[in-house]
Amino acid sequence: MTREERNHKKQDDIDNILNREKRKKIVLSTIKILLIVIILFLCFYYYTRYVSTGGLIVKEQRIINKKIPTNFNGTKVIQFSDLLYGTTIDDKMLNSLIKKINDRKPDIVIYNGNLIDSNYSATSKDQEKIIKYFSKIEATYGKYAVFGNQDNESYRTIMNQSNFKLLNNSYDLIYNDTSNPIKIIGLDSLERGKQNIRVAFSDSKYNNLYTIVLTNETDSLDEVCSNNPDLVLAGNSLNGTIKIPFIGGLIRKDGSTKYINSHYTIENSEVYITSGIGTNGIGFRINNHPSINFFRLSNQ
């Protein structure tokens, strides 16, 4: 072998070593990138599935309206909705929910429907558990509920046994030891084809009273607000499930395609929509914790 051949062979050996090292670095870099992607995905999944769906928060808001009777100044109203039992709800969440409600000693408690997820077949034991927890909720003047688009007739039984008064296109008058009540109207579900706004507002005898309207879906809000209620409390939308700053909720549900965020002013009505307690379909939330709304009423 000539000197030139030896040099060429030596150079080939060096090139092979360099190529192996280069391939090794590429493989190691690829593995690192894949590991980072997997870790980021697992962190994202854990946050959206377990962190964002937990950590129940309370959103507090003062409602000021001159029509509120003086004797109702300071009245505390709790609104919650969309438990969607069978999704991300467990005993710990239920305990936290009841405690947060009762700790605030509400005068009125409102539930806006969708108790059990439509894809979950609740057993009699599940229903008994919900009744046990919901029966513990305390309210000075009463507990009210409306049907949601995922509720069936078992919902009526559960809510009745939990001492909630169901309003189906009907109203009730709430008194506070005086002759100056406030009016509360409940609308049946829009998607179930049972909502009748005309019937709900047909009794004009108490039109001068401060009026709160309860509904599940929000697609009929324009018609509801054309009747000039003072406060409308709704659910169903989960506030879009995925919330982007300065944009709002992204996911629109049946019955809630137009109004999905937490607050609107429509004509002369203040509208508040809960973010709900459970999840729906995709099973996670982003930047949108489950919550209850806590209102204090005042006329000044």
In a shared domain, residues 4 and 62 = no
In a shared domain, residues 202 and 79 = yes
In a shared domain, residues 25 and 168 = no
Percent above pLDDT 70 for the chain:
84
In a shared domain, residues 14 and 70 = no
3-state secondary structure of 2: coil
Q: Which domain holds residue 47?
A: 1-51
Residues 6+ apart with CB under 8 A from 210: 65, 67, 68, 69, 72, 182, 183, 230, 231
How many domains, the chain? 2
In a shared domain, residues 128 and 113 = yes
Angle (CA) 147-149-153 rounded to 5° is: 55
The DSSP output letter for 111 is E
In a shared domain, residues 42 and 159 = no
Stretch 73-79: mean pLDDT = 97
Total-model pTM: 0.85
pLDDT of residue 280: 81
pLDDT of residue 3: 64
| pLDDT tens-digit readout, 106-157 | 999 999 999 999 999 999 999 999 999 999 999 999 999 999 999 999 999 9
In a shared domain, residues 278 and 185 = yes
Stretch 187-212: mean pLDDT = 95
Handedness of CA 120, 250, 262, 225 (dihedral sign): negative
In a shared domain, residues 163 and 137 = yes
| Residue-wise DSSP of 12-73 | HHHHHHHHHHHHHHHHHHHHHHHHHHHHHHHHHHHIIIIITTSS-EEEEEEEE-TTS-GGGT
Q: What are 184's two structure tokens?
A: 């509360």
In a shared domain, residues 41 and 88 = no
Is the pLDDT assigned to residue 282 strictly greater than 50? yes
Q: Give the CATH number of the domain where residue 164 resides.
A: 3.60.21
Percent above pLDDT 90 for the chain:
71
In a shared domain, residues 274 and 240 = yes
In a shared domain, residues 14 and 102 = no
Q: Which of 15, 34, 51 finishes a domain? A: 51
In a shared domain, residues 240 and 160 = yes
